[in-house]
């Protein structure tokens, strides 16, 4: 990962934590005033996290919230608004949808954090050799790495 990108996720996390604080009113930039401009913006790559604002406002809660936040009906309706707000219309839009497949250009924050962690210079220092001798010869060099309570093989 290029050094200038190393602070990307911590920066996004700090924005989310700050914006989860007291409501400052709606802000719509000039870049997305038109419907087509908004749709073009939503077609770009992005990160998604959803949780209670009171918890998101505290940085120590972020790992738990990010790991439990999944793509859901809110994201689908934000990307493709239903024709009306009636329960019947909204339910017909979201019922039976595989939300994991919605908006492949938008990834869960958790996925980005886990995926990008292996590209950080500190990753190897967090890896430990396996404690069990049940590993085969082929996996002798395998290690388990921990980042913010999440584990991955390396």
Q: Which residues is 47 bridged to in the sheet?
A: 107
Structure tokens at 100: 């994991």
Q: Distance (Å, rounded) from C-alpha 77 to C-alpha 81?
A: 4
Domain extents for the chain? 3-121, 124-154
Taking only the tens place, the pLDDT of each residue in 49-92 is 999 999 999 999 988 999 999 999 999 998 888 999 999 999 99
Taking only the tens place, the pLDDT of each residue in 42-57 is 889 999 999 999 999 9
- Angle between the N-to-C axes of helices 8-19 and 109-117, in degrees from 0 to 180, rounded to the nearest 10: 150
CB-based contacts of 90, cutoff 8 Å, min separation 6: 73, 77, 82
Q: Are 76 and 94 in contact (CB under 8 A)?
A: yes
């Amino acid at each position: 990962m290029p050094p200038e990108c190393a602070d990307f996720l911590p920066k996004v996390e700090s924005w989310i934590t700050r914006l989860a604080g007291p409501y400052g009113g709606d802000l719509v930039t000039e870049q997305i005033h038109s419907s087509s401009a908004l749709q073009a913006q939503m077609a770009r790559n992005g990160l998604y996290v959803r949780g209670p604002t009171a918890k998101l406002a505290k940085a120590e809660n972020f790992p738990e919230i990010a790991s439990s936040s999944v793509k859901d009906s809110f994201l689908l309706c934000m990307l493709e608004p239903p024709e009306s707000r009636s329960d019947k219309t909204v339910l017909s839009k979201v019922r039976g949808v595989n939300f994991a497949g919605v908006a492949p250009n938008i990834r869960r924050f958790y996925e980005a954090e886990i995926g990008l962690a292996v590209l950080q210079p500190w990753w190897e220092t967090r890896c430990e050799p396996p404690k069990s001798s049940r590993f085969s010869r082929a996996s002798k060099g395998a290690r388990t790495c921990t980042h913010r309570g999440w584990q991955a093989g390396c």
